[in-house]
Structure 1
Amino acid sequence: MKIYKSLQLDFNFNTVVTIGTFDGVHIGHQKIIERLVQTAKKSQLKSVVLTFFPHPRMVLQKDANIKLINTIDERSLILEQLGLDVLVIKKFTKEFSRLTAEEFVAEVLVKQLRIKKIIIGYDHHFGRNRSANIDDLKAFGKIYDFEVEEISAQDINEVSVSSTKIRNALVAGDIKIATKYLGSPFMLSGVVVKGKGLGNTIGFPTANLHVEESYKLIPKQGVYIVKTTIDNEIVYGMMNIGFNPTINSNNEQSIEIHFFNFNQSIYNKLLVVELLDRFRDEQKFDSVEALKIQLQKDKETSLKYIEKFHAK
Structure 2
Amino acid sequence: GHQKIIDKTVKYAKKIGVASLAITFDPHPQQLIVPERGLKLLTDLREREALFSQFGVDGVVVINFNRRLQKLSDEVFVKKYLVDKLGVCRVYVGYDYAFGQNRKGDVQHLKALGHKYGFEVSVIGQVSAGHHIIKSRIIREFLAKGRFSEALRLLGHAYQISGRVVKGSGRGKSLGFPTANLKIDHHKLIPAHGVYAGQVNGLPAGRQGKKCVVNIGARPTFGTDQTVVEVHILNFHRNIRGKSLKVNLTRSLRDELQFSDVEKLQAQINRDIARV
TM-score normalised by structure 2 residue count: 0.90
Aligned counterpart for 1:279 among listed residues 253, 256, 276: 253
Alpha-carbon distance, 1:261 to partner: 0.9
Does structure 2 conserve the Cα–Cα contact (< 8 Å) formed by 1:175 and 1:275?
no
What does the per-residue CA deviation read over 1:130-188, in whole Å, with 9 as the maximum and x for residues that have no partner?
22333332332233221222223x34999953434422321232332222222211111
C-alpha separation in 2, matches of 1:159 and 1:174: 13
Please tell me whether residue 151 in structure 1 is matched to residue 134 in structure 2: no
Matches within 5 A, 1:129-208: 129-152=102-125, 154-155=126-127, 161-208=134-181
Question: Structure 1: where are the runs of 5+ without partners?
Answer: 1-27, 303-312
**Matched length:** 272
> CA distance change for structure 1 residues 283 and 110 in 2, over 3 Å: closer, same or farther?
same
Alpha-carbon distance, 1:269 to partner: 1.1
1:262 equivalent in structure 2? 236
What does the per-residue CA deviation read over 1:259-304, in whole Å, with 9 as the maximum and x for residues that have no partner?
21111111111111111222222222222222222222222233xx
C-alpha separation in 1, matches of 2:224 and 2:35: 30
1:41 equivalent in structure 2? 14
| Matched letter for residue 67 of structure 1 | K
> CA distance change for structure 1 residues 261 and 178 in 2, over 3 Å: closer, same or farther?
same
C-alpha separation in 1, matches of 2:253 and 2:135: 23
C-alpha separation in 2, matches of 1:121 and 1:202: 49
C-alpha separation in 2, matches of 1:126 and 1:162: 17
1:225 equivalent in structure 2? 197
C-alpha separation in 2, matches of 1:129 and 1:180: 32
1:15 equivalent in structure 2? none
Please tell me whether residue 105 in structure 1 is matched to residue 78 in structure 2: yes
| Matched letter for residue 61 of structure 2 | V
| Segment drifting more, 170-179 vs 234-243 | 170-179
Does structure 2 conserve the Cα–Cα contact (< 8 Å) formed by 1:192 and 1:267?
yes
> CA distance change for structure 1 residues 100 and 238 in 2, over 3 Å: closer, same or farther?
same
| Matched letter for residue 195 of structure 2 | V
What does the per-residue CA deviation read over 1:210-250, in whole Å, with 9 as the maximum and x for residues that have no partner?
11x21211111111112113233231121111111223x44
Does structure 1 conserve the Cα–Cα contact (< 8 Å) formed by 2:199 and 2:247?
yes
| Matched letter for residue 104 of structure 1 | F
1:116 equivalent in structure 2? 89
Aligned counterpart for 2:218 among listed residues 243, 247, 250: 243
> CA distance change for structure 1 residues 30 and 232 in 2, over 3 Å: closer, same or farther?
farther
| Matched letter for residue 245 of structure 1 | P
What does the per-residue CA deviation read over 1:99-152, in whole Å, with 9 as the maximum and x for residues that have no partner?
122211221111111111112234433222222333332332233221222223
SS in 1 for 2:150: helix
C-alpha separation in 1, matches of 2:143 and 2:128: 22
C-alpha separation in 2, matches of 1:156 and 1:91: 31
SS in 2 for 1:114: coil
C-alpha separation in 2, matches of 1:155 and 1:201: 48
- Percent identical: 38
SS in 2 for 1:41: helix
Aligned counterpart for 2:52 among listed residues 76, 79, 88: 79
C-alpha separation in 1, matches of 2:66 and 2:132: 25
Question: Structure 2: where are the runs of 5+ without partners?
Answer: none
Does structure 2 conserve the Cα–Cα contact (< 8 Å) formed by 1:235 and 1:259?
yes
> CA distance change for structure 1 residues 195 and 118 in 2, over 3 Å: closer, same or farther?
same
TM-score normalised by structure 1 residue count: 0.80
> CA distance change for structure 1 residues 140 and 262 in 2, over 3 Å: closer, same or farther?
same
SS in 1 for 2:56: coil
